[in-house]
Chains A and B, each alone.
Chain A
């Protein structure tokens, strides 16, 4: 079901944890749905210097949270806001269609963390509306 990259990030997740005194915190999902991601970031000179994650969720949820903490390091705030769910899925060599919503969650968690940083520093939040609310469950209507 999962690519080698996904399994690698699942079995050896990078940057598990929570940054104390984080510059930005983004938490998305809810336990009822079965996916919760909490991303904490450290920002230095407009660049994300560190990122850590805590995730309650499936293999794809863990893998997307893990890889996003890698992708985001060293990126500027602007660049971080550009990171899309498609980019995350691609970095993992693809996700099964029913797991794409996990990549949405990871992107949303990052954007929320960035917005949190911006707000804490007296700036305007800039992330778009969270995309995970507009999920498209393609279902064949068979009858």
Chain B
């Protein structure tokens, strides 16, 4: 049973019905293997090539530069492990943005642990927007890869990709960006941005789950991750997820047409949410830069209460949201993103992320703003903390604040 109001678009999005309908043809009618020589296969191959061209077009790339994968996570793994292993002769140092999704952090940690990599994590200030100088300062003569996401999944902040890519090019270092939250939501042009590698994931822009893509700039060599029948020009073997690929390309085509609409619509609704929350609920802060941000993202920290409880209460009222609290994550650690911008663990526990989408309405925002104050109030009445117990609430004597040593935590919904 679905929530009445869905405010968690950063986690996943519904597949558009026209996308689902088109995909269905590739299950029922056009089910051939694109590698087969006869009509049934070749007619499907043509469609996959068309899809590839659409995806390339959407990001300003050449079709040969698109490699389809099973997810954004797989694209990230291919980019990071593939680039590292291909360039190992030149060095072993990776610069990784500290607020990356686990799909980027974990491959870096794996390479550190098992393949001799040295990783420098660079952090932004509390705005959540990285200063590109931090990248420049971290570069050594052994640096072979820089990875910085285009837009963050928790706080929606958009990173200075163009500035960073210039630094990377000046030093001849490969630059990867995880654009999973950005593609389909903001304008992405690989030449304008000057990047070498870019990851995307269909289910973030109303395409199906289980398919993503990696943009690989012509001339960039990556060590292959998945070996087999040499599909995707040998770069990613495995019979193509044809329906998924068609779904991804069609969804991206539609999403890109709607970028201007979404920018206006989502930021207007989101700004209403933010104003409504800050004006009507005491002891709450809005997290991250207000301007350099995805149009549909809002993230708050509520004092004296805990995020999973907030999410559950909102769920009972029919509203889907998520939190960066420890209790709401699989790892039982607070969000490394929130800790990474300098928030304390207790502030992270009180976080609530609201991410709007193309179908979000004014009425839904109204209802959310009507329900939330009561929920916060109930939880605060139940809490042992309040303004009089501020010191106790903020006491961090047992805080292991490990964010700046080694990002270890996971955000709820793993989005």
Give a binary string over A70-89; 1 marks a CB under 8 Å from any B CB, 0 the rest.
00000000000000000000
8 Å CB contacts to B: which residues of A28-70? 30-38, 54-62
Tell whether, in the assembled complex, residue B382 and residue A31 are in contact, meaning their CB atoms are under 8 Å apart: no
B308 in contact (CB, < 8 A)? yes
Residue of B nearest to A18 (CB): B384
B21 in contact (CB, < 8 A)? no
CB distance from A17 to the nearest CB of B (A): 8
Tell whether, in the assembled complex, residue A27 and residue B382 are in contact, meaning their CB atoms are under 8 Å apart: no
Tell whether, in the assembled complex, residue A34 and residue B382 are in contact, meaning their CB atoms are under 8 Å apart: no
Q: How far is the CA of A30 from the CA of B304 in the complex (A)?
A: 12
CB distance from A19 to the nearest CB of B (A): 13
Tell whether, in the assembled complex, residue B327 and residue A31 are in contact, meaning their CB atoms are under 8 Å apart: no
CB distance from B156 to the nearest CB of A (A): 23
A98 in contact (CB, < 8 A)? yes
Tell whether, in the assembled complex, residue B327 and residue A61 are in contact, meaning their CB atoms are under 8 Å apart: yes
* Most chain A beta-carbon neighbours within 10 Å: one of B313, B332, B345, B394: B332
Q: A57-B306, A59-B309, A98-B332 are in contact. Are A27 and B316 (CB under 8 A)?
A: no
Question: Which residues of A lie under 8 Å from residue B345 when comparing CB positions?
Answer: 31-34
B305 in contact (CB, < 8 A)? yes
Q: A58-B306, A58-B308 are in contact. Are A32 and B398 (CB under 8 A)?
A: yes
A117 in contact (CB, < 8 A)? no
Tell whether, in the assembled complex, residue A30 and residue B395 are in contact, meaning their CB atoms are under 8 Å apart: yes
Residue of A nearest to B347 (CB): A31
Tell whether, in the assembled complex, residue B308 and residue A59 are in contact, meaning their CB atoms are under 8 Å apart: yes
Q: How far is the CA of A117 from the CA of B91 in the complex (A)?
A: 64
Chain A: interface size category: 20 to 34
* Most chain B beta-carbon neighbours within 10 Å: one of A32, A35, A37: A32
Question: Which residues of A lie under 8 Å from residue B399 when comparing CB positions?
Answer: 32
CB distance from B204 to the nearest CB of A (A): 24
Q: How far is the CA of A70 from the CA of B320 in the complex (A)?
A: 31
Partner of A54, one of B113, B308, B326, B382: B382
A129 in contact (CB, < 8 A)? no
Question: Which residues of A lie under 8 Å from residue B66 when comparing CB positions?
Answer: none
Residue of A nearest to B325 (CB): A34
Chain B: interface size category: 20 to 34
How would you classify the secondary structure of chain A's contact residues: helix, strand, loop or mixed?
mixed
Tell whether, in the assembled complex, residue A27 and residue B398 are in contact, meaning their CB atoms are under 8 Å apart: no
Q: A33-B326, A34-B345 are in contact. Are A54 and B309 (CB under 8 A)?
A: no
Tell whether, in the assembled complex, residue B396 and residue A32 are in contact, meaning their CB atoms are under 8 Å apart: yes
CB distance from A8 to the nearest CB of B (A): 11
Residue of A nearest to B385 (CB): A56
B3 in contact (CB, < 8 A)? no
Tell whether, in the assembled complex, residue A54 and residue B384 are in contact, meaning their CB atoms are under 8 Å apart: yes
B221 in contact (CB, < 8 A)? no
Q: A32-B398, A35-B327, A56-B304 are in contact. Are A62 and B393 (CB under 8 A)?
A: no
B357 in contact (CB, < 8 A)? no
B346 in contact (CB, < 8 A)? yes
Question: Which residues of A lie under 8 Å from residue B328 when comparing CB positions?
Answer: 58
Residue of B nearest to A139 (CB): B331
B349 in contact (CB, < 8 A)? yes
A13 in contact (CB, < 8 A)? yes
B interface residues, Cβ below 8 angstroms from A: 113-114, 304-306, 308-309, 312-313, 316, 325-328, 330, 332, 334, 344-346, 349, 381-385, 392-396, 398-400
9 closest A-B pairs by CB: A58-B327, A58-B308, A54-B384, A34-B326, A31-B346, A38-B384, A34-B349, A32-B345, A32-B399
Further pairs besides A31-B393, A62-B382, A99-B327: 8, Cβ < 8 Å: A31-B346, A32-B345, A54-B383, A55-B384, A56-B305, A56-B306, A56-B385, A57-B327
Some 18 contacts from A to B, beta carbons below 8 A apart, are A11-B316, A30-B395, A31-B395, A32-B346, A32-B398, A33-B398, A34-B334, A54-B382, A54-B383, A55-B384, A56-B385, A57-B327, A58-B308, A58-B309, A60-B327, A61-B309, A62-B382, A99-B327
